[in-house]
Structure 1
Amino acid sequence: MSVSAWILTAGFALLVLLGFPFSFAIGISVIGVLYFTDIPAVMLPQTIISGTQSFSLLGIPFFMLAGEIMSAGGMSKRLVAMADVLVRHLPGGLGHVTILAAVIFAAISGSAPATTAAIGAIMIPAMAERGYSKAYATSLAVSAGVLAPLIPPSIAFVIWGVIAEQSISKLFLAGILPGLLMAGGLSLLVAWNARGNHVTRLPRATFTEVCTAFREGIWALLAPFIVLAGIYGGAFTPTEAAAVACLYSLWVGVFVEKRIKVRDLPEIFINGMRVSAIVMAVMAASSGFSVLIAQEQIATKFAGALGGAITQPWLMLLVLNLVFFLLAAVMDEVAIMVILGPMLIAIANQFGVDPIHFGAVIVTNVAVGMAAPPIGYCLFVGMAISGQKLGEVSRAIWPQILVMLAVLLLTTYIPQFALVFIN
């Protein structure tokens, strides 16, 4: 391999192992290549700027901000209350409430960390009060939170759509069935756990309680309908939908719920910017990295080597899933998508895998990775809420991880799971 190829592969891996933040590791690798080659140094700022100028990427900070506004404005509490009156009487009732509330919240925010934080802040203490272990409650909030990459609108699908140059609206549709199937699998696991541990069942909500919860939460419930109906009705693009979600959530928080004051806005905006900056920094730094990867033909050469060693598409998909899962345990999922995206796409094209189906497989991997120990991002969000240690939550979350992996395999080997709403 050339010096550039060594820096972009072994050099980058060494920086990650040394503990450098991913955006810094990517940027240093690019600078190293520029230093040892005759490529003009101006290439770095040019690619960083161009890599963040995509209109679709505007959806990321908007969806992040929408999640912050909904949490501050009380919409998340309303959604939990509605979920509570619908499913609390089932075996493991509060667990089902957590999952259903997360599905609805995810359909507005598109963000796994925001969903985990909003639902976990309410449900982890509530489950602990009802006798559930805090570790189990945390693991369930995390598992429910990572449904957000699959339930449209999804930030992960926005990122992959930009990388793979595919229709973001079609990718959103590809995540519906895997997301609902994952939610259903988690619900079955909750019921099984409740029966095995003899968890006391809560009383069924009365008709009056149901009507009250829906009357008080109607504005929160309208949000996902406005966002998704607007996208698929052609009223606005996914990026514009993110802005609409922000404006709608702000209007509800300020004028309907009246929980957001003008003095609260700076903190809300700063929190949204802080989370968005993490993702956008990786995207910006990775743009130069991707250009150099393409120039060195690393993705093409690797795809060719893999194609020579593996001749069956099913085996290739299995290997990619295994590699992605192992990398997601020690790397940021956004970084994996951005850095390995060109390579993964080249391999999928070589084996004739449908690009929308492949996108669903990748984002399902992302969902699993956000919950998987030791560095799943949402895992740490849940731990911050509950105060639990990594070892305790890791032991509790493995049954949910196995359910997610089962859904991943179904999505991988039955393409219609992803394409049923498209074809």
Structure 2
Amino acid sequence: MTANAWILSGGFAALAMCGVPFAFAIAAAVIAVLTFSNIAPELLPQTMMAGTQSFSLLGIPFFMLAGELMSAGGLSKRLIALADVFVRHLPGGLGLVVILAAIVFSAISGSAPATTAAIGAIMVPAMVERGYSKAYAASLCVSAGVLAPLIPPSIAFIIWGVIAEQSIAKLFLSGVLPGLAMAGSIAAYVLWRARRDTNVERLPRATWPEIRLALRGGIWALLAPVIILGGIYSGIFTPTEASAVACVYALFVGFAIERKLTLRALPGLAIDAMKITAIVMAVVIVSNGFGVVVAQEQLAQKLAAGLLGAVESKWMVLLLLNVAFFLLAAVMDEVAIMVILGPVLIAIARQLGVDPTHFGAIIVTNVAIGMAAPPIGYCLFIGMAIARLSLWDISRAIWPQVLLMLGVLMLVTYVPAFSLALVR
């Protein structure tokens, strides 16, 4: 490798291992390369500015805000109450409530952290009260929360669509079946575990009056994904415009229907959404400079050629990519991985002849698993904070779910029709 390549890879890795935030570590590595190569230092701010000009990226702050508004407006509680009346009588009923509520909330917010926080804040205390262990309850909320990158509208698919220059609407569709398969595998684990757990209280079947009351209260929450996704696929609005529609809908329901939102609370909710958005966007924007230098050095093409030259089998290359992505996701921010390795991954996919939409489904499935994988999965830390657990306790509880998710990843990787069925 050239000196610039060593500075980019080794410099960034060293700074990240020292605890430097990823955005700053990326920027420092790029600045070092620019200085060493006598390239005009104006390149970095120019590429950072260019990285903010994508219309699709506007969907990220709006979906983040929509999640905050819907959680504060009471929609998450309505969703949980609605799921509760249908599955609470089954073995592990409250665990199934977590999964169902997370699927619907994911289809509203598109954000794994927002889904994990909204569902976990309510369900972890409720499950502990019914006899479930705190670690299991928290791990289940994290596992259900990370369905959001796969269930449209997904912020992870928006980011990958911008990086790979692919149709975001098609990428959304490619995540539906993998997301439902992941939810089904976790639900099967919940049912299996419930038969062994004798401390858990079984709840009675809901009566018809209870079901009618829950449906009446949850109808506005159920309408949200219908409006958002229906608008996207009917061509009424784009995925980015759908994020703004989601915010307007959340404001309407929170003020006019639930009447739990107040004008005084809005600035705080906006700030919370901005904080999460800033973390994501800082990495995305700074990584544009990283991508320019990578392109100059032709690192993507060289790495792709080296990997494909060493390993001829297509299925083995895909397996190695999945293993590498999982190991990186365990110690590195998922957005940073997508943005930094995007050019390399895309070059490899092209040379392998992998369908771009199918490859996007593989990448985002990896991202979803990474958000729950120890030791630094983002949603894992949210679960720790909600349940007040140590990293060791929640990591030990979540490994069975992570292994099931990896099984779904293998299905997505080696059966293209599985993720492309709805697209086609």
TM-score, length-scaled by structure 1? 0.99
Matched residue, 1:115 = 115
Superposed counterparts of 1:303-322, under 5 Å:
303-322=304-323
Alpha-carbon distance between aligned partners in 2 of 1:301 and 1:63, rounded to the nearest angstrom: 37
Query: Which SS does the other structure have where 1:131 is aligned?
Result: coil
2:131–2:201 Cα contact (<8 Å) kept: no
Q: Are 2:332 and 1:352 equivalent residues in the alignment?
A: no
Alpha-carbon distance between aligned partners in 2 of 1:93 and 1:220, rounded to the nearest angstrom: 21
Equivalent position amino acid for 2:231 in 1: G
Matched residue, 1:32 = 32
**Aligned Cα RMSD in Å?**
0.7
Query: Which SS does the other structure have where 1:258 is aligned?
Result: coil
Matched residue, 1:250 = 251
Shift of 1:6: 1.2
Alpha-carbon distance between aligned partners in 1 of 2:69 and 2:292, rounded to the nearest angstrom: 36
Alpha-carbon distance between aligned partners in 1 of 2:217 and 2:398, rounded to the nearest angstrom: 33
Superposed counterparts of 1:15-414, under 5 Å:
15-198=15-198, 199-414=200-415
Alpha-carbon distance between aligned partners in 1 of 2:204 and 2:171, rounded to the nearest angstrom: 40
Alpha-carbon distance between aligned partners in 2 of 1:295 and 1:86, rounded to the nearest angstrom: 57
Shift of 1:3: 2.1
Alpha-carbon distance between aligned partners in 2 of 1:56 and 1:259, rounded to the nearest angstrom: 31
Shift of 1:202: 1.3
Shift of 1:38: 2.1
Alpha-carbon distance between aligned partners in 2 of 1:371 and 1:6, rounded to the nearest angstrom: 30
Query: Which SS does the other structure have where 2:149 is aligned?
Result: coil
Shift of 1:140: 0.1
Shift of 1:221: 1.1
Alpha-carbon distance between aligned partners in 2 of 1:140 and 1:201, rounded to the nearest angstrom: 18
2:34–2:41 Cα contact (<8 Å) kept: yes
Alpha-carbon distance between aligned partners in 2 of 1:381 and 1:318, rounded to the nearest angstrom: 30
Unaligned runs of 5+ in 2: none
Residues 155-196 of structure 1, C-alpha deviation per residue, up to 9 Å, x if partnerless?
A: 000000000000000000000000000000000000000001
Alpha-carbon distance between aligned partners in 2 of 1:266 and 1:115, rounded to the nearest angstrom: 20
2:128–2:137 Cα contact (<8 Å) kept: yes
Residues 257-281 of structure 1, C-alpha deviation per residue, up to 9 Å, x if partnerless?
A: 1111111111010001011000000
2:150–2:179 Cα contact (<8 Å) kept: yes
Alpha-carbon distance between aligned partners in 1 of 2:96 and 2:141, rounded to the nearest angstrom: 11
Equivalent position amino acid for 2:46 in 1: Q
Shift of 1:200: 3.1
Equivalent position amino acid for 1:265 in 2: L
Shift of 1:100: 0.3
Alignment length (residue pairs): 423
Equivalent position amino acid for 1:46 in 2: Q
Alpha-carbon distance between aligned partners in 1 of 2:310 and 2:55, rounded to the nearest angstrom: 39
Equivalent position amino acid for 2:187 in 1: S
Query: Which SS does the other structure have where 1:262 is aligned?
Result: coil
Q: Percent identity?
A: 68
